[in-house]
Amino acid sequence: MRDPRIDDYQDMIENSPCGYITLQTNGRIELVNQTLLGWVGRGSDEMIGKRFSDFLNMAGRIYYETHLAPLLRMQGYFNEFAIDMVKADGGLIQLICNALEGRDSESQPMFIRLAMFKATDRRRYEQELLQAREAATSSLASEREASELREQFIAVLGHDLRNPLASISAGARIIGRDAKTEKEHQVVAMMQTTIMRMAGLSPRFCAWTTWWGNHS
């Protein structure tokens, strides 16, 4: 009589909530569970005997061959790597993959086992976080640039106004000393008010004008 625990174990592997693949040492698929087959819309005869990298998109294929496979050989495992597998209809399924290389008593590779988990929501959340961070960085850069432009404008404004306003202010004071009529005093006062209003366009220049007035 067949031990029912064997059937339970087989069912656990085939219908696990994650995808399982066993690879030969040459990277070809030896076993694939029903869960992963359902995700990618393929039959086992379409995948067994084929290279695992053949079912990845171009970027994933390059990354697997140049980084993940050598990493497996070097340390015997890798965890939580993002992989996009190509489905039968040409679409992509986003997965997070853990892998373990089985070795014999002499540390020679015997097989590779991969466990894969759907990561569509997680990857979308990561992308949204990245976009939000990029937007915040861009906004901060724009504010910094605007602040620098304001500082440059103020500096240029103060520099360009400094000499003509100083001359006008000095002239107004000279005229004010010789003013005799009330109308002449009103004209001088109006000139000084206008000068101070223009000086107020630049806080730096305003301070300089005050110093000039106190020392002239």
In this structure, CATH architecture of domain 4-120: 2-Layer Sandwich (3.30)
Q: What is the pLDDT of residues 82-106, one digit of tens each?
A: 889 999 999 999 999 999 999 999 9
Task: Report the candidate in 116, 51, 122, 47 with the shortest Cα–Cα distance to residue 88.
Answer: 47
Compute the residue count for the chain.
216
Helices (H) and strands (E) in the chain, counts: 8, 5
Q: What is the pLDDT of residue 129?
A: 66
Kindly state the average pLDDT of the residues 203-216: 49
Mean residue pLDDT of the chain comes to: 80
Domain ranges of the chain: 4-120, 132-215
pLDDT top residue among 96 and 215: 96
pLDDT at 141 over 60: yes
Measured from the Cβ of residue 8, the count of other Cβ atoms closer than 10 Å reads 10
pLDDT top residue among 121 and 29: 29
Task: Report the candidate in 4, 39, 41 with the shortest Cα–Cα distance to residue 20.
Answer: 39
Q: What is the pLDDT of residues 174-191, one digit of tens each?
A: 777 777 788 777 777 777
β-bridge partners, 29: 23
Q: What percent of the chain has pLDDT over 90?
A: 36
Identify the weakest region by mean pLDDT among 33-37, 56-60, 68-72, 207-211.
207-211
Strand segments (E) across the chain: 19-23, 29-32, 77-86, 92-103, 109-118
- State the Cα–Cα distance between residues 157 and 146, nearest whole angstrom: 16
Q: What is the pLDDT of residues 26-57, one digit of tens each?
A: 999 999 999 999 999 999 999 999 999 999 99
Tokens of 34: 């029903």
pLDDT at 145 over 90: no
- Angle at which helix 120-178 crosses helix 182-199, to 10 degrees, equals 160
Q: What is the pLDDT of residues 3-17, one digit of tens each?
A: 565 668 788 889 989
- State the Cα–Cα distance between residues 194 and 25, nearest whole angstrom: 87
pLDDT at 209 over 70: no
| Strand, coil or helix: 32 | strand
